Structure formats: structure tokens, C-alpha cells
């Protein structure tokens, strides 16, 4: 994600969405009662209501909404933000409902009455350099492209061409090309100390390549699908859910460490869990670190109980506590077993 403009005095931050993972972050930043503005499409009726030939067209417009709800499914490439129109062209009624469909490439401005620190931390995380060393390989029977992921993009490393064999015939040249790809992978793995490799191809070529893949490389590989082999297809792979799963694996390890620290604190009577207990301990400034499940927040929003949870999170920060929103499966599962919200305390419970 790219921050284009930030004015915290006015509560405004403008961002550009670069990938599907950015939508996951954005869904955690946008809340009910925020406002969001940007270019969108709206259905406009052309012709008078009493005319038979009245038609409906989609017109690009610039609107500002007061947010009511967000809809996002993990590993999808679309975030829906619904709300009430508060600013727009004169021919669009204020107070009517609209939904923004945010996708990679979208630019939106989010305005809040206050940006809490834990949300600014999430925004920073979304814009930081990719620390996991990930190589993307696009290949088929006759060519292969290697690219190393970088912040806001990638670096193309090599483009290999193999001997094209006649359809229906296996030849030594074709087998050698697969071996050439594997040797190139070994070299990059040693050079960059890769943590993850994504191999994408049209059809079943990646499965053929995997037959001869060494075991030490197999454990780092995630398979994906692309429409063709070319640098434009790298951008296609960057939007696929396989990349999100690779990045989430890295995030999962960090979040599990946080949960383990929480469980250790519980065993020493230096923790609180559940909404009521966390509220009590936060109000007296006892919470050093507050862990909150993303699923817990989503459920609270659906039941219109999110304001209490958000108040505790903001209060924890004002008391110099650190707030962590956990979203990976195993960490969330353990935290939900404790009520979805828990805190590590500054002192032992008396």
C-alpha cells in the first residue's frame, strides 16, 4: 500500500491500493462512522421516469460516504465499503446509499475523528518493505521468468528460453530445460537465502517441473496459476491468494509468539482476558499489551457492540499500552478461546 497524503490534524489519509493483501489491511482500518471518498461508479437513470425508453448507465463519479459497513472475504481481490453519500455531484442525492468497490489500483481517502496508534501501526505494516524473501517463477514448456519481490513491486532477475519440442514428443532438450530452471532456482536460493518460492504456470507445466524438484526446495514452494508467461503475468500472480497465504505464514509465526507470551503471563497471574476483565484492568492502567482478535472485532461490529471494544483499545494506548490485532488462524483460535481479547499486565493480579 502506498500513502499518497497524510494530514492527521484533519484526520485524513489518502492511500493507493497496490495488491490484494492491501485490501486485507484496509478492511482493518475502515470503520463505521469514518468517511471515505474517491472515484467510483454509480448507476444513473437516463430519461424521465414516465418514458418507456428510460435506461440505466454506470457513470464514473467522485463521492464521499459516511461508512456503515465493510465486506471483505480473505484471499479475495475486492473490498466493498457501503454507506450514505455526504458529498458528490449535484445530480446525486445526499443521504442515498452507495457502495465503493475497492480493488488493486484504487485510490481512496479515509477520514476519522481520530487515528488510533494501533491503526497507524497497521498502515505502516502495509507500506513497509517485504521482509520475507520471496521468489516468483513463471514458467511453461519453453520459457521461464524469475522475479524477486520488492517493496511495491518486484525485480526481474532472469528470462530463460528452452528448446521448443513438437507436441506429443518428449525430448532430452525439454527435460534439460526443466533441469535448467531447477539449477537457476538453486543458485537464487543460495544467493538470496530464499524463504518462499512461488512457481506459477498455465495448465500443468508446474507439476511436471515438480517431479524433479529437490526436497530441500520443495518445502519452500507454493504452486499458483497464471494465464501466460510474461512480465505482465507477474502482476497477475501478485494478486492471487497464494501470495497472501505465503505472507500470512510469516505473520502467523509472529502472532503465535505473542499468544505464547500471553499464556505464560496467564500462568503467572499477570494477565487478563474477556471484555469485562480487560476493561477493568485497562481503566486502571494495568495493561501493558492488549491482544485483540480480528474476528472478535468483526463479530462485535455485526452485533453493534464494537464501540466498547474500540474504546478499550484506544484507552489502552492512552495509558501507554501496546495494542496488537491478531488475524492469523492458529493465533486467533487460541485468543478466541480466551474471549477474543486479552491483556498482559504490568504487575501481578492481587
Rounded Cα gap, residues 14 and 253, in angstroms: 30
DSSP states of 279-338: HHHHHTT-EEEEEEEHHHHHHHHHTT-HHHHHHHHHHHHHTT-EEEEE-SHHHHHHHHTT
Answer whether 306's CB lies under 8 Å from 346's CB: no
Which DSSP category does 163 fall into? P
pLDDT given at position 152: 52
Q: Of the candidates 315, 306, 2, which has an alpha carbon nearest to the alpha carbon of residue 151?
A: 2
- Summarize pLDDT for 215-269 with one digit per residue, the tens: 999 999 999 999 999 878 887 887 787 877 787 776 777 888 899 999 999 999 9
Looking at residue 75, its pLDDT comes to 61
pLDDT in tens, 176-222: 899 999 999 999 999 999 989 999 999 899 999 999 999 999 999 99
Alpha carbons within 13 angstroms on the beta-carbon side of residue 247 total 24
**Residues 6 or more apart in contact with residue 280 via CB below 8 angstroms:** 272
Determine the pLDDT at residue 21.
77
Q: Which CATH class is domain 134-239?
A: alpha beta
Q: Per residue of the chain (350 residues), give pLDDT as tens.
A: 899 999 999 999 999 998 777 888 898 899 889 999 999 988 877 766 655 666 777 889 999 999 998 888 766 678 999 999 999 998 888 999 999 999 989 999 999 999 999 899 889 988 876 666 889 999 998 999 999 987 556 888 999 987 655 555 444 445 589 999 999 999 999 999 998 999 999 989 999 999 999 999 999 999 999 999 987 888 788 778 787 778 777 677 788 889 999 999 999 999 999 999 999 999 999 999 999 998 898 888 777 777 888 899 999 999 999 999 998 888 999 999 999 999 999 988 76
What is the sign of the dihedral through the CA atoms of 336, 342, 344 and 345?
negative
Q: Do domains 134-239 and 253-345 have the same CATH topology?
A: no
Residue 239 Cα distances to 17, 31, 196, 234, 277, angstroms? 11, 24, 16, 9, 41
Distances (CA, A) of 297 to 79, 90, 91, 149, 306: 17, 37, 37, 32, 6
Which contiguous run of DSSP H or E holds residue 66? strand 55-71
CATH superfamily of 2-127: Pelota, domain A (2.30.30.870)
Which pLDDT score, from 0 to 100, does residue 286 have? Answer: 95
Residue 260: per-residue pLDDT: 93
Give the pLDDT of residue 58.
81
Cα dist from 173 to 93, 176, 179, 180, 258, whole Å: 66, 5, 10, 10, 51
How many whole angstroms separate alpha carbon 183 and alpha carbon 163? 17
Domain ranges of the chain: 2-127, 134-239, 253-345
Cα-Cα-Cα-Cα dihedral of 123, 253, 156, 229, to 10°? -100
Considering the segment(s) 253-345 as one domain, its CATH architecture is 2-Layer Sandwich (3.30)
Q: How far apart are CA 300 and CA 294, in angstroms?
A: 10
Pairing of strands 97-102, 107-111: unpaired
What pLDDT is attached to residue 171?
46
Strand, coil or helix: 141: coil
Amino acid at each position: 500500500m502506498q500513502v499518497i497524503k497524510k494530514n492527521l490534524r484533519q484526520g485524513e489519509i489518502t492511500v493507493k491500493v497496490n495488491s490484494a493483501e492491501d485490501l486485507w489491511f484496509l478492511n482493518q482500518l475502515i470503520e463505521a462512522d469514518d468517511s471515505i471518498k474517491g472515484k467510483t461508479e454509480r448507476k444513473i437513470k437516463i430519461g424521465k421516469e414516465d418514458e418507456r425508453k428510460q435506461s440505466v448507465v454506470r457513470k464514473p463519479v467522485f463521492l464521499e460516504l459516511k461508512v456503515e459497513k465493510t465486506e471483505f472475504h480473505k484471499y479475495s481481490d475486492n473490498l466493498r465499503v457501503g454507506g450514505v453519500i455526504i458529498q458528490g455531484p449535484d445530480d446525486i442525492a445526499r443521504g442515498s446509499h452507495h457502495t465503493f468497490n475497492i480493488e488493486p489500483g484504487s485510490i481512496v481517502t479515509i477520514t476519522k475523528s481520530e487515528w488510533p496508534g494501533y491503526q497507524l501501526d497497521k498502515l505502516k505494516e502495509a507500506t513497509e518493505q517485504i521482509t520475507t524473501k520471496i521468489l516468483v517463477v513463471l514458467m511453461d514448456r519453453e520459457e521461464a521468468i524469475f522475479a524477486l519481490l520488492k517493496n511495491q513491486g518486484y525485480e526481474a532477475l532472469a528470462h530463460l528460453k528452452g528448446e521448443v519440442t513438437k507436441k506429443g514428443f518428449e525430448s532430452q532438450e525439454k527435460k534439460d530445460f526443466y533441469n535448467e530452471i531447477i539449477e537457476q532456482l538453486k543458485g537464487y536460493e543460495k544467493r538470496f537465502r530464499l524463504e518462499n518460492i512461488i512457481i506459477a504456470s498455465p495448465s500443468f507445466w508446474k507439476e511436471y517441473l515438480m517431479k524433479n524438484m529437490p526436497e530441500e526446495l520443495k518445502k519452500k514452494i507454493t504452486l499458483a496459476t497464471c494465464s501466460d508467461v510474461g512480465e505482465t503475468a507477474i502482476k497477475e500472480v501478485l494478486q492471487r491468494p497464494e501470495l497472501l497465504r505465503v505472507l500470512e505464514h510469516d505473520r502467523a509465526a509472529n502472532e503465535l509468539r505473542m499468544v505464547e507470551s500471553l499464556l505464560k503471563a496467564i500462568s503467572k497471574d499477570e494477565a487478563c482476558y474477556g471484555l469485562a476483565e480487560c476493561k477493568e484492568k485497562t481503566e486502571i492502567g494495568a495493561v501493558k499489551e492488549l491482544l485483540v482478535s480480528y474476528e472478535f472485532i468483526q463479530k462485535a461490529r455485526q452485533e453493534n457492540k464494537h464501540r466498547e471494544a474500540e474504546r478499550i483499545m484506544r484507552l489502552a494506548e492512552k495509558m501507554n499500552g501496546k495494542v496488537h490485532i491478531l488475524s492469523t488462524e492458529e493465533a486467533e483460535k487460541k485468543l478466541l478461546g480466551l474471549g477474543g481479547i486479552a491483556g498482559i499486565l504490568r504487575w501481578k493480579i492481587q
